[in-house]
Structure 1
């Protein structure tokens, strides 16, 4: 049974689906927080995620060139996160804040323009060609774990996937603590429910907005670095390609619901990977080229049947 079905299904479809779902989940957290608190869809989120991955690669390259030490991407991501957060602040100050009281469509178009600006900036600074995220020849880093000898079950999980799983769990636990146990987290939830009422009760809305950009920026950076670790490449369209699935995850879980974004990301990631599994015969159920279409279909169905999402988020 394991040889015929379990080995291939678990190692080449289920685990990659969970990995992809973790990346979607982290990206969707920033999108759903921005939508829930600032009331607009930030189309530049994917590009900021990509920018974080490129900055991490740059810091790794600088440290290697100056000191001669190869650092892990997660270590290089720490100083890169500071730059990404300030980049979020900068985009908010010059592109989003002037339209805070304007119609939503204006700030949405501003975010779309910001997306094009960031992508062009990356192409000018780092070039339009693909870059190898970790230089050199990658060694096989799959960790083999045997369940029981009598059935010979083997679980193949690369070390990078273990780091992505562990990192996502850490981010979700920290986010849960911030939202439920800290003063700024409770203020973020209050502003998400009613910005005017929160302002009347004395909550500093500007401080909440800055906290939202910090949380969204760190999650976007983590999603970008995890994606680069997974595919081992950097390309200028990687953020844009992730944008639709991340929006689908945010809508599926419920706008303004961070935990819903996590659940939505895992569902979208699994749905995309499992749609290519040969459930009937030897041919894939859907061509791998249609994976993004699966996310789009789920998003459209959810908007029609349950626009508030699985966790009863905000609907507009």
Structure 2
């Protein structure tokens, strides 16, 4: 296998799936950093966002990329609703209770997807998508759009968190919720904003996974382990860490097929998760410890 074959069959697919994991991992890290609990429903919320985009595409006959902003808005509103109905009443309870509740939320979302869209595989666009040759590298249009839009989302989120008033409030709440509240930070509004961002990121992650592969009702469950592995690898609570962790996990999965059967890709995510928890639980960027 020559260098171009490695790039086309392993490096590019690894970067594509890695950017999808990165968006999901950023959402996971926001939930844990600010709400202080794990979110098992994260993957199924991503799947719901992907199917909502499919509904918009089939109903309005528009481009999938035009449907993405609508899916992100819907995903954000759904996340806020889920928090108000399921997690809000448990806020005073131990955080493990909220984590376990999120497992039930995941089952509810997956069942709703299967009830409405069924269990069959679906796609945004029918037909063959032909790649463009760039000096021997073969890139499909959706892969280029995935890179560009994902980078734009991550950069915009970083600027928001570092420079805006509400972004600084979210960071303050992540560092010390009690102190942030005592200093005048509106905890309720920060919570709503956090879930809006998390839901939007879920929808974007599911959308890009669906447009580069296919849509299945179980797609959210399948990416849950890699997303958590990416968040922990980068450092929980660190946005840049989640982005880097997602790329590393995606590349590790794709390059693992050089040595392992393709059906064992998930083993790489599990191995990365165990190694990081054992050797460096704060992750690459020295985040919070689970």
TM over 0.5: yes
One of 251, 260, 270 as aligned partner of 1:286: 260
More helix by share: 2
Q: Which ranges of structure 1 fall in alignment gaps of 5 or more residues?
A: 65-70, 147-153, 278-284
Deviations 1:45-90 (A, max 9, x none): 11110000100000111112xxxxxx22110122222221111011
| Correspondence 1:78-227 to 2 at 5 A | 78-134=69-125, 136-140=126-130, 142-146=131-135, 154-227=136-209
Q: Does 1:240 align with 2:221?
A: yes
The answer to whether the Cα contact below 8 Å between 2:72 and 2:201 also exists between their aligned partners in 1 is: no
* Larger radius of gyration between Structure 1 and Structure 2: 1
Aligned to 1:268: 249
Whole-Å separation in 1 of the counterparts to 2:216 and 2:129? 22
- Deviating beyond 6 angstroms after TM superposition, the runs of 4 or more aligned structure 1 residues are none
One of 58, 61, 67 as aligned partner of 1:76: 67
3-state secondary structure, aligned to 2:288: coil
Displacement of 1:128 in angstroms is 1.8
Whole-Å separation in 1 of the counterparts to 2:154 and 2:8? 24
Q: Does 1:6 align with 2:35?
A: no
3-state secondary structure, aligned to 1:132: coil
Whole-Å separation in 1 of the counterparts to 2:226 and 2:118? 26
Q: Which ranges of structure 2 fall in alignment gaps of 5 or more residues?
A: none
Q: Does 1:302 align with 2:276?
A: yes
Displacement of 1:145 in angstroms is 1.4
